[in-house]
Chains A and B, each alone.
Chain A
Amino acid sequence: MTGTAAGFQNVEHLLRELTPQVVGALTRRYRDFAASEDAVQEALLDALAQWPRDGVPENPGGWLYRTATRRLNDEMRSAMARRRREEQIASEEDLQVAAMDEGFEPDQDDTLLLLFMCAHPALTPVTAVALILRAVGGLTTREIAAAFLVSETTMAQRISRAKQTIRDSKVEFVLPSEQERTQRLEAVLHVLYLIFNEGYASTTGDQLQRVDLSSEAIRLTRALSESVTDYPEVRGLLALMLLTDARRAARTDPDGELIPLDEQDRTIWDQQLIAEGTSMVAKAMSDRRVGPYQLQAAIAALHDQAPTTELADWPQIQALYRVLESMNRNPMVGLNLAVATAMAEGPDAGLLVVDSVASDDRMKEHYRVHAVRAHLLERAGRKADALESYRRAAETTANLPERNYLLRKMARLRKSL
Chain B
Amino acid sequence: MKFMMMMNLPRGTRDYEISQWPPEAVDAHFRFMKDLNKDLGKAGEFVDVQGLTPPSQAKIVRYGGGTPIVSDGPFAESKEFLAGYWIIEVATRERAYEIAARVSSAPGPDGKPLVMPVELREVMCSPLPEDA
Residues of A within 8 A of B (CB): 206, 255-257, 390-391, 394-398, 400, 403-404, 407-408, 410-412, 414-415
B51 touches A403 (CB 8 A): yes
Given contacts A255-B34, A395-B57, contact A411 B23 (CB under 8 A): yes
Residue numbers in A under 8 Å from B23 (CB-CB): 408, 411-412, 415
A395 touches B34 (CB 8 A): no
Measured CA separation A394–B51 after assembly (Å): 12
Residue numbers in B under 8 Å from A415 (CB-CB): 22-23
Chain B contact patch, size range: 20 to 34
In the complex, whether B72 has a CB less than 8 A from a CB of chain A is no
In the complex, whether B21 has a CB less than 8 A from a CB of chain A is yes
Residue numbers in B under 8 Å from A256 (CB-CB): 34
B26 touches A395 (CB 8 A): no
A395 touches B22 (CB 8 A): no
The one of B15, B26, B31 that contacts A391, using a Cβ cutoff of 8 Å: B15
Count CB-based A-B contacts (< 8 Å).
47
B16 touches A400 (CB 8 A): no
Between-chain CB contacts (< 8 Å), 23 pairs? A255-B31, A255-B34, A256-B34, A391-B14, A391-B16, A394-B16, A394-B19, A395-B53, A395-B56, A395-B57, A396-B53, A397-B53, A400-B51, A403-B51, A407-B19, A407-B26, A408-B23, A408-B27, A408-B30, A410-B15, A411-B26, A412-B23, A414-B19
Known: A395-B54, A414-B19. 9 other contacts (CB 8 A): A255-B31, A391-B19, A395-B16, A395-B57, A397-B53, A407-B16, A407-B18, A411-B22, A412-B23
Most interface-central of B14, B16, B19, B31 (chain A CB within 10 A) = B19
Residue numbers in B under 8 Å from A206 (CB-CB): 41
B30 touches A411 (CB 8 A): no
Residue numbers in A under 8 Å from B53 (CB-CB): 395-398
In the complex, whether B20 has a CB less than 8 A from a CB of chain A is yes
Measured CA separation A255–B18 after assembly (Å): 20
The residue on B at minimum CB distance from A255 is B34
Residue numbers in B under 8 Å from A255 (CB-CB): 31, 34
Measured CA separation A414–B21 after assembly (Å): 9
